[in-house]
């Protein structure tokens, strides 16, 4: 395909992800294809581009899940990707339950199978908007850096609320924009210039690492996400910024 045709196609895909630029079906198709294509390099690039800070963030998310209240329960790792969070939970000392790792990009799940303890983890190809789970069937749910990729955020929040038991926690770990201008300036320079360049070169995918800053920029603020969790039915919703506001941790409880 001529270069100008590739650029036109990529521009069309990027436009579909902006508010008002395309529908849910377009976003869903693009996101699934993109993550399927970058699956082989996804973990290595995550750790490299975050300087390994993402590992600490995930540990904080699991601590917020408070799984020790019910160590033998079934837990949901939503938008599970390469099963990083599911594997960390399943390997935690004292954990005696099981983890369902749900993601609609099968290559991402397959990329994590080699290191995942499959006696405890059940990978399932499933859309976060239509989970193959009964009402009130999971003791807790966590999503790390995946909630912003949903074609319908509010529907995804309601669906997670549906499958949780009463008292079950939903933990959201997601990128955000730092509130202070010095941190924000450095963040924007890195996110919009360094990350797309390095990510594109190492992954071989020209648009995936342009999508990341675009998706973060279009994602609700921490306060707004907390409000939307409340509207979806969660109570005791709390949130806090992590590492100068580069990421944020939200927690809500199903009453």
Compute φ and ψ for 126, nearest 5 degrees.
-155, 150
User: Using CA atoms, how far apart are residues 125 and 24, in angstroms rounded to an integer?
Assistant: 19
Domain 36-253, CATH class in plain words: alpha beta
In whole angstroms, how far apart are CA 116 and each of 53, 141, 167? 21, 18, 28
Provide the residue ranges of all domains of the chain, joining segments of one domain with +: 36-253
Where does residue 228 rank: exposed (0-12), middle (13-18), buried (19+ CB within 10 A)? middle
Q: How far is the C-alpha of 171 from the C-alpha of 160, rounded, in Å?
A: 10
Secondary structure of the chain: what % helix, strand, coil (to 5)?
Answer: 50, 20, 30
> pLDDT tens digits for the chain (255 residues)?
332 222 333 433 444 444 444 578 888 898 999 989 888 888 878 777 787 899 999 999 999 999 999 999 999 999 999 999 999 999 999 999 999 999 999 999 999 999 899 999 999 999 999 999 999 999 999 999 999 999 999 999 999 999 999 999 999 999 998 988 888 899 889 888 888 888 888 888 878 888 888 888 899 999 999 999 999 999 999 999 999 999 999 999 999
pTM as predicted: 0.88
Burial of 185 (0-12, 13-18, 19+ CB in 10 A): exposed
Q: What is the DSSP string of 59-94?
A: HHHHHHHTGGGSTTSEEEEET-TTTHHHHHHHTSTT
Residue 40 gets which letter from DSSP?
A: G
């Amino acid at each position: 395909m001529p270069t100008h045709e590739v650029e036109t196609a990529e521009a069309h895909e990027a436009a579909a992800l902006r508010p008002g630029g395309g529908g849910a079906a377009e976003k869903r198709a693009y996101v699934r294809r993109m993550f399927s294509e970058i699956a082989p390099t996804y973990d290595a690039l995550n750790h490299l581009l975050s300087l390994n800070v993402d590992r600490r963030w995930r540990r904080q998310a699991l601590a917020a899940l408070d799984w020790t209240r019910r160590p033998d329960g079934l837990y949901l790792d939503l938008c599970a990707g390469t099963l990083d969070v599911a594997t960390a939970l399943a390997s935690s000392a004292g954990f005696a339950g099981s983890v369902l790792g749900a993601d609609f990009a099968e290559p991402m799940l397959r990329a994590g199978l080699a290191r995942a303890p499959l006696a405890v983890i059940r990978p399932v190809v499933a859309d976060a908007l239509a989970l193959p789970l009964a009402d009130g069937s999971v003791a807790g749910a966590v999503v790390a850096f995946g909630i912003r990729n949903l074609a319908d955020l509010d529907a995804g929040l309601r669906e997670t609320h549906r499958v949780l038991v009463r008292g079950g926690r939903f933990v959201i770990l997601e990128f955000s924009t730092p509130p202070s201008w010095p941190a924000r300036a450095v963040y924007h320079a890195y996110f919009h210039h360094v990350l797309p360049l390095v990510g594109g070169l190492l992954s071989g995918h020209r648009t995936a690492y342009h999508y990341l800053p675009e998706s973060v920029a279009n994602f609700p603020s921490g306060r707004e996400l907390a409000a939307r969790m409340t509207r979806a039915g969660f109570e005791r919703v709390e949130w806090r910024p992590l590492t100068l506001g580069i990421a944020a941790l939200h927690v809500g409880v199903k009453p």
